[in-house]
Amino acid sequence: MNKKMKIDPNEFALAVIGGSPITTSDDTRASKDALKRYLTAYYLIEQFNELEANQFTLAKNPDFKLLMKAFETLKFD
């Protein structure tokens, strides 16, 4: 795939907590659980976006291209 993908961290995190049922009647506990889910989802997508951006940077690196050419010559029998 040659197209960069970027996911909005806030939208993703809101979707995660919006789709997560509240399983406790304690409002404080429910709020803490929702906040934990939101932050986990937010930072997970930030990491994903960074890896996705670096994938394209790495693929343009001459050393990476040389490495890929070397792999093409390997035979796995």
Decide: pTM greater than 0.75. no
What is the rounded average pLDDT of the residues 13-17? 94
Token pair, residue 30, equals 């429910």
The string of DSSP letters for 5-74 reads ----HHHHHHHHHHTSPP--S-HHHHHHHHHHHHHHHHHHHHHHHHHHHHHHHHHH-HHHHHHHHHHHH-
Q: What is the pLDDT of residue 26?
A: 93
pLDDT tens-digit readout, 31-43: 999 999 999 999 9
Query: Which residue pairs from 53-58 have beta carbons closer than 8 angstroms and sit at least 24 positions apart in sequence?
Result: 53/4, 53/6, 56/4
